[in-house]
Amino acid sequence: MPATLNARPMPQRPANGLLAWEATIGYLRLQYRLDASLTLRAVANGDAIQWNAYAVWGQNTEQVTDKLSMPAALRELWALIDRKHVIFESREAMLRRPSNYGDDEWLDGVTRTVFNQMIELFQIACAPTWALTIIYEPVEIADVRFQTRLTSDRDSMDMLGQGATLQAACRDLLRVTAQMHIQRRKRQTSENAVQQSS
């Protein structure tokens, strides 16, 4: 009779790249007891959007700038960190790495849809220039783990959203931005009506 091997099953790889980043930032916080965060920043100028990504843990900061997409920024940030730092201490932990995800594998389908709708609204409501900042911190209060902020020179706009997931934070920011855009359109329509009647 063969001997029984005591082996734990290997954990599953995160389902998408963003979940892998969340797991990595959480690992840094738990394993090394360091404050850790991931920040994404999109800067739009007309139809062009450039993406920057930053990871901070303890005294360490790594960043990539001027990427053409969010997946490219997240992928290249991990490549930079992986070259310069040893993060994971076990083979099991390494499965959390945010690497080897295709461009369409960084967000789940629903989050990608909400995210794309939000970006489209920004292009309409805030054109030609705006900036979006997304911060993930693995804090105990789940509802503030993701924070989103939209700024634009147009009407000195500064809108905030937050949520336990990127999807929730995007929905929150999408809601407040849409409300602001609707109010601004109503105001413009009223002003135009007054001008036409005089």
What pTM was computed for the model?
A: 0.89
User: What is the pLDDT at residue 158?
Assistant: 94
- The CATH number given to whatever domain includes residue 101 is 3.30.500
Mean pLDDT of 116-141: 93
Q: Is 80 inside any structural domain?
A: yes
Q: Is 78 inside any structural domain?
A: yes
Q: Is 1 inside any structural domain?
A: no
Position with higher pLDDT, 99 vs 9: 99
| pLDDT over 90 at 27, yes or no | yes
Average pLDDT, the chain: 91
CA atoms of 67 and 61, how far apart (whole Å) = 18
Q: Is 158 inside any structural domain?
A: yes
Q: Which domain holds residue 55?
A: 17-197
Tens of pLDDT, residues 131-153 = 999 999 999 999 999 999 999 98
- What is the total count of domains within the chain? 1
Mean pLDDT of 173-181: 90
Q: For the range 145-154, what are the long-range contacts, defined as Cβ-Cβ under 8 Å and sequence gap of 24 or more?
A: 148/172, 148/173, 149/173, 150/122, 150/126, 150/177, 152/122, 152/126, 153/129, 154/125, 154/126, 154/127, 154/129, 154/130
User: What is the pLDDT at residue 198?
Assistant: 67
Q: Is 9 inside any structural domain?
A: no
Mean pLDDT of 61-74: 98
Q: Is 157 inside any structural domain?
A: yes
Q: Looking at residue 123, what DSSP letter applies?
A: H
User: What is the pLDDT at residue 194?
Assistant: 75
Mean pLDDT of 100-107: 96
| pLDDT over 70 at 156, yes or no | yes
In this prediction, residue 36 has a pLDDT band, given cuts at 50, 70 and 90, of: very high
Q: Is 3 inside any structural domain?
A: no
Q: Is 2 inside any structural domain?
A: no
User: What is the pLDDT at residue 9?
Assistant: 65
